[in-house]
Every structure is written in structure tokens, then in C-alpha cells.
Amino acid sequence: MVISRTRITTVLAASTAAAALVLTGCSDNDDMSGMQHSTSSAPAPSSAPTARTDFNDADVTFLQMMYPHHAQAVDMAKLVPSHSQNQQLLALAAKVEQAQAPEMQQITTLLQSFGKPAPTTGGGHGGHTMPGMMNPDQMNALQAASGPDFDRQWLTMMIEHHTGAVAMAETELAQGTNGESKALARSIIDSQRAEIDTMRGMLG
């Protein structure tokens, strides 16, 4: 049987085209493989930000002790509306709560930025006794009181409590190095000294 030259040419052209497609496919796969390899070897993004270093042990101790100190003051302030009808005391207690609750959040944020554990409301820290803290018997006696007796106990205890906070803040100013912690200490000293003067006047 005789095969025309035209048919032979057509078959050869088709074979050549098929071969070219196979080669192209291999080349594309090689390129994709290279891209995948390149992508997998890229460095992973960095993890959590590095903790700050602009603080010392005195800053950490101050913050970790001041948190439960503030927490007790807030607890005492919350007792006033249900135990007293003294309008001046009600206003003072609201002021104490409004000032110290946000400072507790500030303390938490600062300690986290230092890479330190979250503060707790326990009665002590690392073997330290916090000045001005009420013991459980004193808190129970305060909760059991009412009227003028409650007012007298609350004012007497809060004066002692504030005096302790001022002493802790003064230690921070003398020994700490972190600017934000020291600014908080200054704020505590200014506000609580003023409240101590107010409470002494109310007792008198």
C-alpha cells in the first residue's frame, strides 16, 4: 500500500507537537517544584514580642503587692452602700473604687509587659507582709457593723490602709527604675494622702 507524502507529513507534525507538550509539562512541573521548595524554606514569622527590660525587682514587687492591696480597698468601698447612710462616706467610697479599680488594670498590663505572672489578690507576696492590709477578723468585724459604728471602723481601717499604700509607693520611688511604675506610685501618694486628710477630718 502506498502512503502519500502529505499523510506522512501530517503524522510527523502531530508527533512533534505531542512531544513538545510533554517537554513543556515537565518543565512546568520542575518550575512548580522549585517554587514549592523555595516557599517551604522561607523563615517562619517571629513569635510573641520580647518582654521589656526597663524595670527591676523593686518595680515588680511594688506592682505585685499593690494589686491585692488595691483589691482589698475596693472590697471595703463596696461595703459602704449597704452599711452606711453617711453621704460623705458614700461619696468617698465611690471615689476610692473609681480610682483604684482602673489602677488594678494598669498594674496587670504593666506586669504582663514585663513578662511576669498575672497579679493575685492573695494577702501577701513572696513572704512580704503588705503594710496597711486588714486581716480576716478585721474584715469580718467591719462586715458585721452598721451605721455610725461601721462608719468609724471603715474610716479608721482605710486611713491605716492608705498609709500602708503610701509607704509602699514611697519605697517604689526610692528603689524602682521603671517610669510607668514610678508614675503610678506618685499618683497613689498624691491621691491617698489627700484622702487620708479627708478621713481624719470626718473622724474628728
Query: How much is the pTM?
Result: 0.73
Q: If you average pLDDT over every residue of the chain, what do you get?
A: 82
Q: Give yes or no for a contact between 94 and 77, defined as CB atoms under 8 angstroms apart.
A: yes
Would you state the pLDDT for residue 119?
Answer: 87
What are the pLDDT digits (tens) for 52-105?
Answer: 889 999 999 999 999 999 999 999 999 999 999 999 999 999 999 999 999 999
pLDDT score of 16 more than 70: no
pLDDT score of 122 more than 90: no
The rounded percent of the chain whose pLDDT value lies above 70 is: 73
Beta strands in 10-162 (DSSP E): 124-125, 128-129
